Amino acid sequence: MTSRITTTPFALLLLAAITCAPAACQPTSKPLGPSDRLSLRLRSVSDDHRYTYFELDSQGRLSYAGGEQAARREAGPVMTLTADQLQHVRQIVRRHNLLSVPSPDVKKHDHIKYELYLKSEGWRGRTLHATDDTLPGVRELHDYLFSLQAEKRYHIPRLQ
């Protein structure tokens, strides 16, 4: 007499869950390293409808738009960041844990609203929404990028 093993859909599902469970528990990314490539899109809008928009690609090319172009997310090239400038951007992201910090509650009305999309090597990318100081790192990142583009475009020295 031979025994015959039959499988039910439940048994297959259970087997798949047991097999895949260790992989599901693994982190989805590694921490942002000091030389990892990073790309981002950052838009801000104030309550009186002033817009700024930045794009930083993985090669360090910074684009910027203000006003109507920023509202439409149509940034134009400004500069390529130096290694030190890129390092400073990565430090802001790491220091404020922007790749993994939970999105804050942005229901309250504040003066400035931010939308930040970040992508790094080994990370699938994420979008954060923040207002004023709900995520200080987003404002710090915005202000740093704004000072870089102002210095380049208008030869205004960056505030330290």
Does the pLDDT at position 46 exceed 60?
Answer: yes
User: How would you classify the pairing of strands 51-56 and 38-46?
Assistant: antiparallel
- For residues 12-24, average pLDDT: 38
Query: What is the band of 13 on the pLDDT scale with cuts at 50, 70, 90?
Result: very low
What are the structural domains of the chain? 38-154 (3.30.1560.10)
Give me the phi and psi of 76, to 5 degrees please. Answer: -110, 155
Measured between alpha carbons, how far is 147 from 160 in angstroms, rounded to an integer? 9
Choice between 16 and 72, residue whose per-residue pLDDT is larger: 72
Quick one: what percent of the chain has pLDDT higher than 90? 51
Q: How many CA atoms lie within 13 A of 90 on its CB side?
A: 20
pLDDT tens digits along 47-93? 889 999 999 999 999 999 999 999 999 999 999 999 999 999 999 99
The confidence score (pLDDT) of residue 134 equals 85
Give per-residue pLDDT as tens, 96-143.
Answer: 999 888 888 766 656 789 999 999 887 778 999 888 778 889 999 999
pLDDT of 1 over the 60 cut: no
Instruction: Please give the pLDDT value at position 34.
Output: 57
Are residues 40 and 58 in contact, defined by beta-carbon separation less than 8 angstroms? no
- Residue 13's Cβ-count burial label (10 Å; 0-12, 13-18, 19+) is exposed
DSSP state of 107: -
User: Where residue 157 falls among pLDDT bands split at 50, 70, 90?
Assistant: low
The pLDDT value recorded for residue 36 is 75
Phi and psi at 9, nearest 5°, equal -55, -35
Mean pLDDT within 134-160: 86
Residue 6, pLDDT score: 52
SS3 of residue 130 by DSSP: strand
Kindly state the average pLDDT of the residues 140-149: 96
